[in-house]
A and B are shown apart, each in its own frame.
Chain A
């Protein structure tokens, strides 16, 4: 199998400083040998650890009350039940294990919402690696429970203070660390972004989601879904949920992006109040790959926005950009308010508290279920425990209708 050019149509590639290229070539070689060709039984060990340590397979669950509400069959792929509370462990465990096979000694990672950092910290504790995680200062304050979890697992958390202090800056800073310590360090990138082979490799580690879901849908529903919905920031749960359905022509794939507060942009300030790079972005080069980006006319990268830090990124995986151009995947988006409403709806109706990222997919379901066919599969990419503080705060601020009453706290929440 040839993956050597690392391109998805016009997207992808390897736009990185020369100092990193030997490490990228080494990683390409390891990816082909261990991941694609199961050398030394790498994939067998990976699958076994995903089962024993991670708790795979995760269930695909029939959502009874949502099915009733929308008058069609709604199924949920429960990645929130994976160890760590999100799909992120699939990739983190795969890459940390790969680093072990490659003889690397140190792991670094970036994190936005903290889910990938948490998963990497857990995988590193599990496989006895030193771990450092770069996280934007703003995200550190938005996602305190995950910062605690990383530190408890023994990882160092390095705050990134440049720029707006979100995922984009954290990725840049992790790349700088990698360029400095490339000889003994592996960079566990958290999504299907970055230079080849990362987008393909992370997709392969995450595709266990759709591999299981496809089988589970056959068994439980007796049919493949008409539509698959997954939220999309960088796009790792999206590609994981789509990968095994891409060849099924009858299955529509919806990448639900964060519409933030508005789809319009402020060129003057370089701010896009959304993270909808698939829906509104232009082609460009960022963090090692050619893809769709939120950028101004000159090509300066814009500050993105989403109420959910896991979607708050100006780029997107190159393969997703390609699937969108090929009309194989449909980019859609929902705004912050709709996501918050969906968060409460799913929690109340199904007893599943979703991550704010995940809530975007359910918000799209609420607004557009009539176009999604008889059977819909939604990827529950993660659970919402990490978001409780910010959800309660944002909900109160915005006066979201279906929010629970929190007035029992004397003197308010803060």
Chain B
């Protein structure tokens, strides 16, 4: 068992995302630690890949900044080791970086997972790895007791949904709307339908894609989500601070505040649920 289920044990989980190394290694450490202070229950750490096909402009730009800042898989693992946080950590990246890790002679993708377990990661989200291609990574995750989170899209139904739910562990990432990542001014109604389709399964449901405010978080958790995932709205704060030349400390403060707004929104939404759901 990884530590992820605990994060959902007493109330909704707030799961922020940042691209690691954006805009540089040292600032990024401060930013991730600020998220924990702001109430993060799990943190998704983006390992930047040069072709982020599931990301919208906000995170694409973060990836560019992080890569230009020298982020690599090796540096990423150092980063995770150096982080002073207690909450579970999920690595979000694309399959080629996992697959290539350790060089031609390594046992792949096991080498990446072994290293991830060693530095204290708890699981993975791999947006370009559908359940059909996931067996090798699933096996390695089982060996090292790491979770493999899958994304369920508004278009995922029937047999596909069942196949994913057989493989998923930790939490299921419910994609709130079609498209790519990015903060939105409104929350999609596709979320309710997706949560409805997933109600038969016990695994925690965390909703992501487009959540920007505490109000969004509140509404989504009130609607039945076990957690919320927020990326672009936080990355926007990093980007703005970088453009304005603000100090890392000032940006970290803003991130902490935003995180608090979101995690409190989630708590409010949870309190509104009737009947109050039992927690196991």
> Within the assembled complex, what's the spacing in Å between the Cα atoms of A232 and B117?
41
Q: Which of B52, B56, B97 contacts A299 (CB 8 A)?
A: B97
Which of A10-18, A330-338, A382-390, A404-412 binds B?
A10-18
Contacts of A172 in B (CB 8 A): 51-53
- Asked if B259 lies at the interface with its beta carbon under 8 angstroms from chain A, I say no
Q: Which of B56, B67, B74, B99 contacts A300 (CB 8 A)?
A: B67
Say yes or no: B53 contacts A176, CB within 8 Å: yes
> Within the assembled complex, what's the spacing in Å between the Cα atoms of A297 and B104?
9
Which of A19-27, A206-214, A240-248, A252-260 binds B?
A19-27
> Within the assembled complex, what's the spacing in Å between the Cα atoms of A22 and B180?
16
- Asked if B95 lies at the interface with its beta carbon under 8 angstroms from chain A, I say yes
- Asked if B156 lies at the interface with its beta carbon under 8 angstroms from chain A, I say yes
Say yes or no: B155 contacts A183, CB within 8 Å: yes
Say yes or no: B128 contacts A17, CB within 8 Å: yes
Say yes or no: A287 contacts B53, CB within 8 Å: yes
Which of A64-72, A114-122, A278-286, A361-369 binds B?
A278-286
Contacts of A298 in B (CB 8 A): 72-74, 97, 100-101
Which B residues between 25 and 44 are near A, CB-CB below 8 angstroms?
none
Contacts of A179 in B (CB 8 A): 53-54, 178-180
Contacts of B5 in A (CB 8 A): none
- Asked if A224 lies at the interface with its beta carbon under 8 angstroms from chain B, I say no
Which B residues between 126 and 166 are near A, CB-CB below 8 angstroms?
127-130, 132-133, 150-157, 160, 164
Say yes or no: B155 contacts A284, CB within 8 Å: no
Say yes or no: A162 contacts B60, CB within 8 Å: yes
Chain A: which residue is nearest B74 at the CB level? Answer: A298
Say yes or no: A15 contacts B129, CB within 8 Å: yes
Q: A22-B156, A23-B155 are in contact. Are A175 and B53 (CB under 8 A)?
A: yes
Contacts of B151 in A (CB 8 A): 17-19
- Asked if B103 lies at the interface with its beta carbon under 8 angstroms from chain A, I say yes
Say yes or no: B101 contacts A299, CB within 8 Å: yes
A interface size (C-beta, 8 A):
36
> Within the assembled complex, what's the spacing in Å between the Cα atoms of A285 and B104?
14
Say yes or no: A19 contacts B97, CB within 8 Å: no
Q: A18-B153, A19-B155, A179-B180 are in contact. Are A284 and B99 (CB under 8 A)?
A: yes
Q: A295-B100, A298-B97 are in contact. Are A14 and B155 (CB under 8 A)?
A: no
> Within the assembled complex, what's the spacing in Å between the Cα atoms of A174 and B74?
31
Which B residues between 207 and 227 are near A, CB-CB below 8 angstroms?
none
Chain B: which residue is nearest A181 at the CB level? Answer: B178
- Asked if A59 lies at the interface with its beta carbon under 8 angstroms from chain B, I say no
Say yes or no: A295 contacts B96, CB within 8 Å: yes
- Asked if B8 lies at the interface with its beta carbon under 8 angstroms from chain A, I say no
Contacts of B72 in A (CB 8 A): 298, 300
Which A residues between 295 and 323 are near B, CB-CB below 8 angstroms?
295, 297-301
Leading 7 A-B pairs by shortest Cβ distance: A299-B100, A180-B179, A19-B153, A299-B96, A300-B50, A22-B155, A285-B96
- A–B pairs, 21, beta carbons within 8 Å: A14-B132, A15-B130, A17-B53, A19-B153, A19-B155, A168-B51, A172-B51, A179-B179, A179-B180, A181-B178, A182-B178, A183-B178, A270-B50, A284-B96, A284-B100, A286-B96, A288-B128, A295-B96, A295-B100, A298-B74, A298-B100
Known: A18-B156, A300-B50. 12 other contacts (CB 8 A): A14-B133, A16-B53, A18-B175, A21-B160, A175-B53, A179-B53, A182-B178, A285-B95, A285-B128, A287-B53, A297-B103, A300-B72
Binding site for A on B (CB under 8 A): 49-56, 60, 64, 67, 72-74, 94-97, 99-101, 103-104, 127-130, 132-133, 150-157, 160, 164, 175, 178-180
